[in-house]
Structures are given as C-alpha cells and as structure tokens.
Amino acid sequence: MMKRPLLQLFFRLFLLTLSLDSIRAGLPEDFASANGKLSSGHADEVLSTYKTLLTYPEFKTLGSAEIWYNRGLAEMQTGDAVAASLSFRRALLLDPALLPARVELSKTLGALGIPVPNGWKERSMQSIHPETMIVGGAVIGWIGALALIVLLFQASRKKALIVLALTLIVVGHGTSLLGTMADPRRTARHQAVLTAKEAVTLRATPADSATESGKLDPGTLVNILSQNGAWWYVSTGTRSGALQGWIHSNTATSLLPSSKGSS
C-alpha cells in the first residue's frame, strides 16, 4: 500500500529536477563558452558575459567564486588590475580556500605595488576552509560535551575519559572560534577596495579642503570605521603604522557585491 505513494513522490522529485535543469541549462553553456573565449585571449568579449552571469537570480545573493575569479582574469587581461583585485577578493570572500584566486590576487597586488597579506588568517585558509573549521570544530566540541554529560551520570567515572571529553570540548570549540575569526565574511560588510584610477588622498576631516593625512594606492583594502554623508572614515588596519583618514565614497567600492552582482 505504501509503495505507490513513494513511487509517485520519487517521480515528482525526478520531474522537478529535470525542470530545474532545463531552466538553468543556458547558464553552464554561457559560462563554458565565456571560459573558452577567455583562454583564447578574447577578454574584451567575455567580460560583459561574466558581469551578466552575476546578475542571474542564482548569483544575486550568493554569488559565484568561479565567475568572480574568471572575471578577475578577464579584467587583468584588459589591463584593469584595480578591478581585478576587487574581483579576486570577492572570489575569496565566497570561497576562502580557492587557491588560484589567492595566487592571482597576490600577483595583482604585486603589480599594483601593494603588500600581499600573509597573516595567520591567510595561511590557515590555504590549508583548510573556515567553514570546515567552524562546523567540524563545533561537532567535535558537542561530541565532547555529550560524552562528558554521559560520563558524569555513570557510577564508575573514569578520569581518563573525562579528560578526553574535556579536551574535545576545548579543542573543538576553540577550532570553531578560530574558523569564525579567520572567515573573511565576518568583516566584509565594513570593508572596501579603493577603485579610483589614481592614488586616494586621506583627509583629516570630511572635506575636500581638509588637511591631507596620507595617500593610498588603488587596489588597497580598507576598513570603513564610520560614515558622514558621502565621506567614509577608513583605516588600512589595526597594526601600528596603519593609516587613517576620510575619503570620498566614490573612490572606493564595497567588498560585498551589490544586489545586481556586477558592480
């Protein structure tokens, strides 16, 4: 009696899968065609294709690391290293473990004369994805917590097992915390890349006539500390020697893509 409803359910799911594949059939074809032209050196032709692909409903909110990466390659081939640096950063934002994007970003920043970040966050993401650390660490930590609860309610408590459970809790949740701290998406909403064609002047106050407090090269990643109308108060980091000042917002582009996906 139960076989027929189950068969009907599986058949409906199969039809739904086919319909979704038919809806998205053009996307991989466009992407593959653009990639072929890119490898042939026709970057000017495919750049608009990648921008269009990023406006598809599938990518408006979630994006695509592969498309952003290939868009960066196309921008490099057309001589726009500043735009390429933004695209590679966005690719790494979606997939911090995408090694080709990290390699190309390093090359691009080197060409722009910008120091390549090489802190513990960057080094950790080269070997393991932050999400793997977050989820895997949480699972290990909760296994340790459940094991500890079970052991505490047992009559014969073995100290070695209790120590092991406590170790799992500390290591697991500690790894999850490190993954959260290393994940670039945690701070991306407050970051931007300088996309002006020339060096951007930092101002002591939000006004064109204000005293200069330094200059930043195009392609530099900055932290947005506050806003005042069309002005952003930015910093190049938290370490000693980091530059801070006001810049006009039209000289930078937020690290998080807009809803249109092509900016």
**90 in Cβ contact with 118 (< 8 Å):** no
Q: Are residues 102 and 36 in the same domain?
A: yes
Lowest mean pLDDT among 42-51, 57-66, 84-93, 115-124: 115-124
- The confidence score (pLDDT) of residue 117 equals 74
For the chain, the distance separating the N- and C-terminal CA atoms, rounded to the nearest angstrom, is 56
Over residues 230-249, the pLDDT tens digits come to 999 999 876 777 889 999 99
Q: Are residues 212 and 156 in the same domain?
A: no
Q: Name the more confident of 116 and 104.
A: 104
**Is pLDDT at 262 greater than 70 in this prediction?**
no
Task: Report in angstroms the alpha-carbon separations of 124 from 50, 78, 111, 226.
Answer: 30, 32, 24, 30
Question: For the domain that residue 206 is a member of, what is the CATH number?
Answer: 2.30.30.40
Q: Name the more confident of 23 and 51.
A: 51
Q: Are residues 111 and 155 in the same domain?
A: no
- Closest alpha carbon to 252 in 194, 191, 188, 189: 194
Over residues 126-177, the pLDDT tens digits come to 667 777 888 888 999 999 899 888 888 886 768 888 889 899 999 988 888 8
- The confidence score (pLDDT) of residue 88 equals 95
Residue 2 maps to a domain:
no
Question: For the domain that residue 103 is a member of, what is the CATH number?
Answer: 1.25.40.10
Domain assignment of residue 201, given as a range: 188-254
Q: Are residues 52 and 101 in the same domain?
A: yes
C-alpha–C-alpha distance, residues 168 and 123, integer Å: 24
Q: Where are the alpha helices (DSSP H) in the chain?
A: 3-23, 26-39, 43-53, 57-60, 65-77, 81-94, 99-112, 120-125, 130-152, 159-182
b/e string for 14-47 if b means 16 or more Cβ within 10 A?
A: eeeeeeeeeeeeeeeebbeebbebbeeeebeebb
Domain boundary (94, 117, 140) is at 117
Q: Are residues 63 and 83 in the same domain?
A: yes
Residue 149 maps to a domain:
yes
Strand bridging mode 191-194 / 200-203? unpaired
Residue 74 maps to a domain:
yes
Mean pLDDT of 16-45: 64
Question: What is the band of 10 on the pLDDT scale with cuts at 50, 70, 90?
Answer: very low
Residue 135 maps to a domain:
yes
Q: Are residues 146 and 219 in the same domain?
A: no
- Closest alpha carbon to 90 in 254, 222, 217: 254
Q: Are residues 34 and 106 in the same domain?
A: yes
Most confident of 18-32, 181-195, 212-226: 212-226
**52 in Cβ contact with 246 (< 8 Å):** no
**Dihedral angle, C-alpha 99, 105, 108, 113, nearest 10 °:** -120
The domain tally of the chain equals: 3
Q: Are residues 81 and 138 in the same domain?
A: no
Question: What is the band of 61 on the pLDDT scale with cuts at 50, 70, 90?
Answer: low
**Is pLDDT at 194 greater than 90 in this prediction?**
yes
**Is pLDDT at 218 greater than 50 in this prediction?**
yes
- Closest alpha carbon to 75 in 113, 108, 33, 40: 108
- The confidence score (pLDDT) of residue 158 equals 82
**Is pLDDT at 22 greater than 70 in this prediction?**
no
Q: Are residues 170 and 138 in the same domain?
A: yes
Q: Are residues 95 and 170 in the same domain?
A: no
